[in-house]
């Protein structure tokens, strides 16, 4: 049975919580507006802190006194990060279900605590990436995917619906008049904090990598992905169009005036484009349809044959096609598009651009092949973008 109204804090608890909130704001000043926007809901006997999607933080003040002001301030910052990083909505985009919400909660906790501990905050018994045998510096979606590949230990108590985890039994009912911070105000708080984070970075002060990445992503200008894709593919192609290559198969137009000094003619180079289509089992039908649509658009814009390599965990024989109807799709196994990229690099002539159409769930090479630009079109709103040198990544939300 969920509660419908908050219970006022006892004066002594209110004084202690005020000290905790002030200490948290001093620990990470750029998060001050988020910390002071949290609405405390006292829950005696709860045993820890949690947060719901409306920025209401559920607090057990007896446990807070056991932790002390410093550690409790760190815990309060942890809960603020959950709602600040919009873990509730990101869980939906990551495909979190009733059976995987605890795994998401673990992934989110690890990503937050990795930053807080690096800042020297005294979190009590924190879940860290090392605790889960994960690499530090990762993002929530990546941790969630890796935890799904093996048995993960569920947290004994989740952080609440604000973390994208299970709704806590102590959470207030959504129909209550005390709705907390609505989505409009929450987005305004997030943007304000993001600006504070970037300003702190500009001053040369140390900043948590995860929080800095979050701020950059939030404040990044929203440019049409189709414009980005055409620009990424067109830039290297424009460098090839018009370039002339010597060839003895065509006579030099000036050879008649210099019969004693033969010289080669010139052939105008045509750029080569190779496309890798991810056909692994992780590609949903909608993602595969989107990939085929982008391939059709490339064929129409280039107006020439291109080489297509269908790949899951192995690459099939390259197909030279001019029309989409000539394409044959096979696959359905695991995913390792490094094999497809390597196969494209071995084509002759060497592709100027290698376009990879994928949902992103694949290992990536550390760098693009020599003499080729790799454009990774990630058809997903939850996959980690590739980071290899020379790989241009563009995200398309799955339709």
Tens digit of each residue's pLDDT (9 = 90 or more) over 196-222: 988 888 887 777 777 888 888 788 655
In the numeric block, which tokens belong to residue 182? 């609505």
Q: Is the pLDDT of residue 84 over 90?
A: yes
* CATH architecture of the domain with residue range 225-396: 3-Layer(aba) Sandwich (3.40)
Work out the number of other CB atoms within 10 angstroms of the CB of residue 63.
Answer: 18
Name the pLDDT band for 101 (thresholds 50, 70, 90). Answer: confident
Q: Over 6-73, what HEC string results?
A: CCCCCHHHHHHHHHHHHHHHHHCHHHHHHHHHCEEEECCCCCCEEECCCCEEEECHHHHHHHCHHHHH
pLDDT at residue 83, as a whole number:
94
Higher confidence at residue 301 or residue 200?
200
Q: Which residue has the higher pLDDT, 277 or 388?
A: 277
Is-contact 127 78, C-beta < 8 A? no
> What is the pLDDT at residue 113?
92
Kindly state the tokens that stand for 16: 């202690």
Region 308-326: mean pLDDT is 91
Domain spans, the chain? 11-219, 225-396
* DSSP labels, 106-167: HHHHHHHHHHHHHTT---SS---TGGGT--TT--HHHHHHHHHTS--PPPSS---GGGTSPP
Please say whether the beta carbons of 115 and 27 come within 8 A: no
Quick one: pLDDT at residue 287? Answer: 85
Question: For the segment 138-187, what is each residue's pLDDT rounded down to a tens digit?
Answer: 888 888 888 876 665 555 567 888 888 888 888 887 655 566 888 888 88
User: Percent of the chain beyond pLDDT 70?
Assistant: 80
pLDDT of residue 155: 57
User: What confidence score (pLDDT) does residue 307 get?
Assistant: 94
197 or 241, which is more confident? 197
126 vs 302, higher pLDDT: 126
Query: What pLDDT, on the 0 to 100 scale, is given for residue 293?
Result: 83
The mean of the pLDDT values for the chain is 82
Q: Are 48 and 66 in contact (CB under 8 A)?
A: no
**271 vs 92, 242, 303, CA distance in Å?**
41, 10, 12
The DSSP bridge pattern shows strands 264-268 and 56-59 to be unpaired
Query: What is the reported pLDDT for 311?
Result: 94
pLDDT given for residue 23 in this prediction = 96
- How many Cβ atoms sit within 10 Å of the Cβ of residue 259? 7
Q: How confident is the model at residue 386 (pLDDT cuts 50, 70, 90)?
A: confident
Closest CA to 211 of 30, 22, 394: 30
Q: Can you tell me the mean pLDDT for 328-336? A: 88
- What is the rounded CA–CA span in Å between residue 159 and residue 91? 13
For residue 335, give the nearest of 366, 355, 313, 320 by alpha carbon. 313
pLDDT of residue 240: 47
Q: How confident is the model at residue 225 (pLDDT cuts 50, 70, 90)?
A: low
Residue 42, pLDDT score: 92
Cα 16 to Cα 325: distance, rounded to the nearest angstrom? 70
Q: Give the CA radius of gyration of the chain.
A: 27
What share of the chain has pLDDT > 90, as a percent? 32
**Residues constituting the chain:** 399
What whole-number distance in Å separates Cα of residue 196 and Cα of residue 35?
13
Which tokens sit at 162? 């604000």
> Residue 325: which residues within 8 A CB-CB, separation 6 or more?
none
Per-residue tokens: 319? 């197909």
Instruction: Provide the sign of the torsion angle of the four alpha carbons 61, 62, 63, 65, taken in this order.
Output: positive
- The answer on pLDDT for 316 being more than 50 is yes
Rounded CA-CA distance 241/210 in Å is 41
Q: What is the pLDDT of residue 163?
A: 86
**Bigger pLDDT: 386 vs 223:** 386
What is the mean pLDDT of the segment spanning 11-23?
95
What confidence score (pLDDT) does residue 4 get? 44
């Amino acid at each position: 049975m969920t509660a419908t109204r908050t219970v006022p804090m006892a004066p002594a608890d209110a004084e202690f919580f005020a000290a905790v909130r002030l200490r948290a704001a001093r620990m990470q000043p750029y998060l001050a507006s988020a910390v002071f926007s949290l609405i405390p809901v006292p829950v005696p006997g709860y045993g820890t802190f949690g947060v719901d999607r409306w920025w209401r933080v559920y607090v057990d003040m007896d446990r807070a006194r056991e932790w002390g002001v410093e550690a409790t301030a760190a815990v309060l910052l942890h809960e603020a990060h959950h709602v600040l990083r919009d873990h509730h909505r990101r869980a939906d985009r990551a495909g979190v279900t009733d059976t995987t919400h605890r795994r998401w909660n673990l992934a989110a906790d690890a990503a937050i605590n990795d930053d807080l501990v690096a800042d020297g905050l005294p979190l009590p018994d924190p879940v860290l990436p090392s605790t889960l045998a994960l690499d530090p510096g990762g993002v929530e979606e990546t941790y969630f995917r890796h935890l799904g590949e093996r048995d993960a230990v569920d947290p004994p108590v989740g952080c609440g619906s604000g973390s994208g985890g299970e709704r806590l039994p102590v959470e207030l009912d959504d129909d209550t008049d005390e709705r907390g911070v609505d989505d409009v105000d929450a987005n305004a708080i997030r943007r304000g904090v993001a600006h504070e984070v970037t300003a702190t970075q500009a001053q040369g002060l140390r900043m948590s990598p995860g929080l800095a990445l979050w701020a950059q992503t939030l404040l990044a200008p929203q440019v049409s992905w189709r414009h980005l894709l055409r620009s990424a593919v067109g830039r290297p192609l424009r460098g090839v169009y018009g370039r002339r290559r010597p060839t003895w198969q065509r006579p030099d137009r000036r050879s008649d005036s210099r019969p004693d000094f033969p010289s080669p003619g010139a052939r105008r180079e045509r750029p080569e484009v190779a496309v890798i289509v991810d056909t692994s089992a992780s590609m949903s039908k909608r993602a595969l349809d989107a990939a085929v649509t982008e391939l059709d658009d490339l064929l129409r814009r280039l107006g020439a044959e291109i080489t297509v390599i269908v790949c899951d965990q192995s690459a099939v024989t390259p197909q030279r096609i001019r029309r989409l109807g000539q394409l044959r799709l096979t696959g359905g196994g695991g995913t390792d598009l490094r094999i497809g990229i390597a196969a494209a690099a071995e084509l002759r002539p060497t592709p100027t651009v290698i376009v990879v159409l994928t949902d992103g769930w694949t290992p990536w090479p550390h760098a693009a092949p020599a003499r080729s630009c790799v454009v990774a079109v990630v058809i997903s709103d939850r996959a980690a973008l590739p980071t290899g040198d020379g790989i241009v990544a563009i995200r398309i939300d799955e339709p």
